[in-house]
Amino acid sequence: MMAVIEDVQVVVTDTAPGEDSRFVALHASGTTGWYGPISAEIGQFVKTVLTDSLIGASADDHIGLHAALRHTTAANCGSIASWAVGAVDCAAWDLHAQLAEAPVAELLGMSLRWQVPLYASWLSLDLSRPASLATAAHVGRAGWQFTKWGLRRSSEASNLAAEATRLAATAHAVAEALGRPGAFDAVFTWNPVLTGLLINQWDPAVAIWLEDPLPEHDLGAYRPLAAKVPLAVGERLHLHADAQELFDLAPRAFTLDVVACGGLTRAVELVNAAYALGVPVYPHGRSIVPAIHLAATFPDAIPAVEYRLQWEPTRQQGYAHPWEPTDGMITVPRSPGLGATPRRG
């Protein structure tokens, strides 16, 4: 029988300024399973709400543990609860894998690839500047599967027709600089009126997909939109949400966040469901460490994982062994565990 979880901690670690600094630590048989970084609010939820469901649980019964955590959070199904369950679930996979002396990817499945393709995103670059277009062209030549760029609505834009024209022209200029289509992310900043105006000017030849144009997953607004443009959705899917409604949109990409959706245990279910429906999965980059293991296990379902150029290198400084891409790929470590052990001291 696998060891049982004996203790749960939320540890404050050394991180880069502005980064989340908490890591979940699950202890069993002299071994610690880690996941982080997470925010202080998520860490507090783990300590005050989830700990009782963890103590005494088997370190390898991921289905049973996840069911217990879902039950514990049934009355509190917000984003903090979902992230907390996901962080604990990933720490449990790390603990199990270390005890089994295997990488998490090997525990998830047998159809493995050890080199995982990445696509690069840079959502904060001001694409109105000519120098930024040159930067985009440079990034596009760096070996990534493709690149994704931010198309945020200007906070000062009052004329929505003019803003739609500006955004459509920006997407065209980026694709021209890249010499190929790019993916574009509105970062939840548009509204239905702006979206409708922009779609009338949208050139399908410039875009791999349009991601998250509206502040919420408003399916009533997304359904007609999905018939006109290739949509990417799923980043905000949480633990207790029904993914089928998103799959019904037949999106170009399902961009689940492995931790935010409830952890690796649920992510495996979602990837299998998406693959059965022919929906490609491109995991969100904020949870890149478990996403790499997931992508290694499901090479046919997950073409690439997001690598966030403006944030991930700094975030990786919080790990004992940073994950670094080479020529648009990341190599899955053969060492036991997940690879999310924090840097200490």
What CATH number is associated with residue 190?
3.20.20.120
Of the chain, the percentage scoring pLDDT greater than 70 comes to 98
My answer on whether 227 and 127 are in the same domain is: yes
Task: Check residue 47 and give its pLDDT.
Answer: 97
My answer on whether 185 and 312 are in the same domain is: yes
Alpha-carbon distance 199 to 230, whole Å?
11
Radius of gyration of the chain (CA): 20
CB neighbour list of residue 336: distance below 8 Å, 6 or more residues apart: 97, 98, 100, 101, 102, 103
How big is the CA angle at 304 (ends 205 and 220), to the nearest 5 degrees? Answer: 60
My answer on whether 84 and 112 are in the same domain is: no
User: Considering the domain boundaries, does residue 302 fall inside one?
Assistant: yes
DSSP structure class, residue 11: E
My answer on whether 251 and 231 are in the same domain is: yes
User: Considering the domain boundaries, does residue 342 fall inside one?
Assistant: no
Q: Is the pLDDT of residue 148 over 90?
A: yes
Q: Where is the domain boundary, 49, 76, 101?
A: 101
My answer on whether 95 and 138 are in the same domain is: no
Task: Check residue 77 and give its pLDDT.
Answer: 79
Q: Where is the domain boundary, 48, 75, 101?
A: 101
CB neighbour list of residue 286: distance below 8 Å, 6 or more residues apart: 257, 259, 260, 308
My answer on whether 81 and 230 are in the same domain is: no
User: Considering the domain boundaries, does residue 336 fall inside one?
Assistant: no
Task: Check residue 214 and give its pLDDT.
Answer: 86
Alpha-carbon distance 203 to 207, whole Å?
8
- Reference 21, options 35, 38, 45; nearest CA is 38
* Banded model confidence at residue 8, pLDDT cuts 50, 70, 90: very high
Q: What is the 3-state secondary structure (H, E, C) of 22-91?
A: EEEEEEECCEEEEEEEECHHHHHHHHHHHHHHHCCCECCCHHHHHHHHHHHCCCCCCHHHHHHHHHHHHH
Range of the domain at 87: 7-101
My answer on whether 304 and 207 are in the same domain is: yes
Task: Check residue 224 and give its pLDDT.
Answer: 83
My answer on whether 67 and 157 are in the same domain is: no
Q: Is the pLDDT of residue 42 over 80?
A: yes
Alpha-carbon distance 289 to 127, whole Å?
29
My answer on whether 44 and 122 are in the same domain is: no
Residue keyed to tokens 């289509």: 181
* Banded model confidence at residue 251, pLDDT cuts 50, 70, 90: very high
3-state helix, strand, coil in the chain (%, to 5): 40, 20, 40
Measured from the Cβ of residue 86, the count of other Cβ atoms closer than 10 Å reads 31
β-strands 329-331, 115-122 pairing: antiparallel
* Banded model confidence at residue 18, pLDDT cuts 50, 70, 90: low
User: Considering the domain boundaries, does residue 219 fall inside one?
Assistant: yes
Q: Where is the domain boundary, 76, 101, 126?
A: 101
The answer to whether 252 and 280 have CB atoms below 8 angstroms apart is: yes
Partners of 183 in the β-ladder: 148
* Banded model confidence at residue 2, pLDDT cuts 50, 70, 90: confident
Q: What is the 3-state secondary structure (H, E, C) of 101-167?
A: CCEHHHHHCCCCCCEEEEEEEECCCCCCCHHHHHHHHHHHCCCCCCEEEECCCCCCCCCHHHHHHHH
pTM of the model: 0.95
Alpha-carbon distance 125 to 109, whole Å?
38
User: Considering the domain boundaries, does residue 339 fall inside one?
Assistant: no
User: Considering the domain boundaries, does residue 344 fall inside one?
Assistant: no
User: Considering the domain boundaries, does residue 241 fall inside one?
Assistant: yes
Q: Is the pLDDT of residue 270 over 90?
A: yes
User: Considering the domain boundaries, does residue 304 fall inside one?
Assistant: yes
Q: Is the pLDDT of residue 17 over 80?
A: no
The total number of structural domains that make up the chain: 2
My answer on whether 161 and 266 are in the same domain is: yes
In this structure, what CATH number is given to the domain that contains residue 84?
3.30.390.10
Residue 14 corresponds to which amino acid? Answer: D
My answer on whether 239 and 303 are in the same domain is: yes
Q: Give pLDDT tens digits for 149-205.
A: 999 998 777 899 999 999 999 999 999 999 999 999 999 999 888 998 998 888 889
Of the chain, the percentage scoring pLDDT greater than 90 comes to 81
Task: Check residue 345 and give its pLDDT.
Answer: 64
My answer on whether 155 and 63 are in the same domain is: no
